[in-house]
Structure 1
């Protein structure tokens, strides 16, 4: 017995041979090629002004580099539980350094269309937690400020800590007496924009020291009575600005012999207590004016829940309002013309890097929030955002369904793009995309001959978004909203006017909005016909919307239809939500999709399956109660089928309770049998040894319900699939030889959650009569699969008209 068990265990642990593994890899290899959408849990941001590429790190250890549309590189830290906290580019070299929250440093390089990790260093030691990072303009060292107050230099060539250390004790020798005890952790490090040997060191408690690295001595000290958050030089290097945790910032003179503030501390949203200004930038606008950009600083009492980045240029003042936490931001210079030298041809000397850092003309503001990326055109008079070619937040509203459509007709794609451009004509700036580094191979940028590949996503707010996923970049094309058809979604007309009069001057930017006023609007199924462009949408409240693509605006009535799936079940009671209320027509539709008909299923349960056959003008939808087939051309109902069993429908004298009592009686009967069998075995075993022993009392009389007290076991939670066997999981239109072997006829196939398959035959009128007559439909076959597993897909195979078969997919 032991030997067989050991053999069994060894057999379980056997691995396939090397040849078999090679064969598996060749036949079943799966690798990620492209990652679409916004990174999950973004945590860090960096910018290379020479190569014009950006990097984003995440809390899951992912590192992503982006250039012009089509240039995307991915890397993953070995420890996925370690979040990326900071990223620094070695400008012009294609290298970058990432810092993770486990105090580890990683050197990466862009190499042949990939992001390769070259070296790793874990910075260990007491009080050596890295709190600030600054890279030298020469690209030789990375300066590391620690919580202990010391500043270390990391040699980027050897990726090791050099002996050049700026000790806090040495820095404190010429500092005021108040800070000789403990100035706190190093909060910020900034090189002088024109004299790299001068380093601005900011400590947590408010002390700022201008340190001369050549002389190894401080030249100036600056004292603030508020906790320091960030430091920033101006372009000339004659003064710098410090931001603090009380929502104020101070501008200090550093060019001469003075060690004083140029102005009194400025609290832009005071005088009441304000949140900290976590980061501040002083830049020069394209017009030559000074522009100040900072994150935070909102009044605590009124706007503590706001996530803002404020931009001030003279009298112009806007607080950009985000719906998720602001991670970081940077400014970029104008996009160079097409004739500019390629990144690999640009000089990467320290002088060139220094020149790039001095030229801080702010043409764009790039803000990374926790759930989206927003780019503001600072040259635009209204400071409008730039339309994103990628990195769009797909989950701006929760994704509830999706459909990938191949080989979409070119004219349909062009019309969808034109409708999308019309939608966003005044919302976005026309400026070029500022993250423009890298090159795209012609082979990967050309479209397939058969047409583009579109992805449709349905969302909780009732919208359907169209995306171009033909290439590497996932570009948004068009957004269709179904909420406009139903009441309860009124939009305030004077929203912008109220915002202009409000202080602070908030301006909502970004698309991330995870909240939905009415969950019934959620899109559960969506279908796009790649040839006709017809759009079919199934919603959470049983609404089926059919829309066609138009190239111009129009005002029209919408055909409505109601289909009661459970009409033949007496006593059925729907205890769910009510159906949505249609607004009174006519409806005004802009260029794009125009609704032609709206069908309401009764009861208004969520649509679980959807199919459309525009060759015949038919649409079929399934719910947890059955299915309904409609003529989409004439907006009429053809047939419906209720798949509810009697114990689910509420019909009969003992609704639902019959099923429960039947299950309970079966359970108790099995328990009785098991107990009786065990008692009989015990009696048989006792008879030979003690024949004179009287039988036990329970065997003197038959078993009764009172003698057996079944112990009710805890009922385990089951999935919805197991609970609703009547749910229609899949629908499929096909022309097949179901009626006879001579003529293929239109058919409809449906699969349910409990292994039921229904086949319908459809008679479609001739083309010249189709507008006046509707097709007819009748149930032809009903199949019950023995395993009763959910049928999730059906495909009809017709190799021989005399032998029609179908394949199906099911859940085990």
Structure 2
């Protein structure tokens, strides 16, 4: 767009050899986007840094948007236009790790807004996890190999560590016979172990809690262990009325789609399957295959959201331990999938309670959050200053195309059953500096306040930093506070030299300080009459 615009201006200013030469020079320009406001339409994956309070949004076309506090936004553009499948922060280091669909591992430095390092992986990466509080990361591939990488802060490169575990050596150490190789589909470092213990999930249902420091299996699940202790059905709206039916069901081998820890200390894991089922596995006991436990049937509970024979795969699972006031050993399980085929697309929030481990687990309530578009990703924002980082202050849901909604964590956890149904928490639109769709923008223009026609306009007295917090309804505290404001916009003697004005379909007018390339909100002029606004500056 920039090249075409410059070429058009050159042709309008006159042709000739000189003009043609200038046009040729312009055609060689490497024009790039320096600033971008809002959520890109092709957004597909998210990551969050709980220390610096930054949200990263990756796209299908090689861009990454960074959101912080005080209307801070930044954009990173990859040299290759390719989708991202994994996105994670190295916490509190200003570093973001991105893995593309082409298995390129990128390290972005947020301070310099630059791609510091990229490395091409030889095989298809099927699972990825950064170990919290370190520069180490686990990587799983299509051949069932677990590898360890480290980012060297001094030379700025990724190093492949000598430690790795193949699926066959792991199965042999765990005493499990395997007939074929299968990809790793999930990697979860166990909480409070500093990454020395990691849960590895393989595609066809094989789960291993592996001790890296001692090189042996702590617990093994799947492949014949599926003799259910009980089943919790979450199909009814009033899930508190559900009963646990004792069953002795020999389940067939099934593919794993998603997993997450479902307890504060990493003793229980929730696993979602392609069949639409969710199994809650107790990972504290040693597997019966090692001869140290005889009753594996007490270590798993089946959670079923719908009663139909054909159900959607459980694509996403996330867990939150809830508020500190909760006395039960439970929390919220966030589920995408598991409903009957053809049902309305929702994100399901289940309140699970347990007084004695899986023996007494029950579903106390169920809330279905309607999605604004097709689901892309979700992320839970932990409370600030909470040691275990499990309690949730906000929920962000990303849908296509480029819609980002959020829920107050307090509203999610305080929802109570009314006379007829459970109260539905209210979703809020992600606030953007320059809205374009909600509301729809109809006309814009840029005005200079330093020319002869405006020698002493009163807008010069306003400082753009007067409005720094995004508009949020209710009493919710904005969960994103990270980032560094532009030094140019914080000068004490700053005067507004240019303004950017936009009119909207709802009749409102918004004005930004455009003195510097980073726009700062100044005014929102609301209108009662819904109509297109035409801007006239006298």
Question: Does the 8 Å CA contact 1:95/1:107 hold for their aligned counterparts?
Answer: yes
The 3-state SS of whatever aligns with 1:395 is coil
Change over 3 Å in CA distance of 1:69–1:130 after alignment to 2? same
After TM superposition, give the deviation of residue 167 of structure 1 in Å: 0.8
Partners of 1:443 and 1:180 lie apart in 2 by 62
Partners of 1:206 and 1:476 lie apart in 2 by 56
The 3-state SS of whatever aligns with 2:489 is helix
Partners of 1:44 and 1:302 lie apart in 2 by 24
1:226-246 per-residue CA deviation (whole Å, 9 max, x = no partner) reads: 321222122212222212222
Q: 2:257 aligns with which of 229, 242, 263?
A: 229
Question: In the alignment, does 2:198 pair up with 1:199?
Answer: yes
Change over 3 Å in CA distance of 1:456–1:192 after alignment to 2? same
After TM superposition, give the deviation of residue 56 of structure 1 in Å: 0.9
Question: In the alignment, does 2:239 pair up with 1:211?
Answer: no
The 3-state SS of whatever aligns with 1:527 is coil
After TM superposition, give the deviation of residue 185 of structure 1 in Å: 1.4
CA RMSD, 1 decimal: 3.8
TM-score (norm: length of structure 1): 0.48
Gaps of 5+ in 1: 1-10, 337-354, 414-420, 484-522, 531-612, 614-812
Question: In the alignment, which residue of structure 2 is the partner of 1:331?
Answer: 380
Partners of 1:136 and 1:335 lie apart in 2 by 20
The 3-state SS of whatever aligns with 1:162 is strand
Question: Does the 8 Å CA contact 1:372/1:392 hold for their aligned counterparts?
Answer: no
Q: 1:360 aligns with which of 390, 393, 415?
A: 390
1:361-416 per-residue CA deviation (whole Å, 9 max, x = no partner) reads: 1121122222211111021345333563327873357x573223658987xx9xxx
Question: In the alignment, which residue of structure 2 is the partner of 1:372?
Answer: 403
The 3-state SS of whatever aligns with 1:308 is strand
TM alignment of 1:45-56, pairs within 5 A:
45-56=46-57
The 3-state SS of whatever aligns with 1:280 is strand
1:149-182 per-residue CA deviation (whole Å, 9 max, x = no partner) reads: 11122221131322211111111215576x6023
Question: In the alignment, which residue of structure 2 is the partner of 1:153?
Answer: 148
TM alignment of 1:548-697, pairs within 5 A:
none
Partners of 1:90 and 1:36 lie apart in 2 by 25
Between the two proteins, the alignment pairs up a number of residues equal to 432
Question: Does the 8 Å CA contact 1:134/1:143 hold for their aligned counterparts?
Answer: yes
Change over 3 Å in CA distance of 1:430–1:105 after alignment to 2? same
Question: Does the 8 Å CA contact 2:143/2:181 hold for their aligned counterparts?
Answer: no
Question: In the alignment, which residue of structure 2 is the partner of 1:526?
Answer: 533
Partners of 1:155 and 1:87 lie apart in 2 by 16
Partners of 1:286 and 1:63 lie apart in 2 by 32
Change over 3 Å in CA distance of 1:12–1:443 after alignment to 2? closer
Question: In the alignment, does 2:449 pair up with 1:403?
Answer: no
Q: Which has the higher contact order (CA 8 A, sep 6+)?
A: 2
Question: In the alignment, does 2:108 pair up with 1:108?
Answer: yes
Change over 3 Å in CA distance of 1:260–1:450 after alignment to 2? farther
Partners of 1:52 and 1:481 lie apart in 2 by 37
The 3-state SS of whatever aligns with 1:148 is coil
Gaps of 5+ in 2: 1-16, 227-252, 288-295, 354-363, 416-424, 450-456, 463-469
TM-score (norm: length of structure 2): 0.70
TM alignment of 1:19-58, pairs within 5 A:
32-58=33-59
Partners of 2:267 and 2:476 lie apart in 1 by 32
Question: In the alignment, which residue of structure 2 is the partner of 1:89?
Answer: 89
Question: Does the 8 Å CA contact 1:250/1:261 hold for their aligned counterparts?
Answer: no
Partners of 1:320 and 1:51 lie apart in 2 by 28
Change over 3 Å in CA distance of 1:313–1:105 after alignment to 2? same
Partners of 2:297 and 2:475 lie apart in 1 by 43
Question: Does the 8 Å CA contact 1:103/1:122 hold for their aligned counterparts?
Answer: yes
Change over 3 Å in CA distance of 1:76–1:450 after alignment to 2? closer
Question: In the alignment, does 2:238 pair up with 1:189?
Answer: no
1:76-111 per-residue CA deviation (whole Å, 9 max, x = no partner) reads: 11111x111111111111111111111111111122
Change over 3 Å in CA distance of 1:130–1:29 after alignment to 2? closer
The 3-state SS of whatever aligns with 2:180 is coil
Between structure 1 and structure 2, the one with the greater Rg is 1
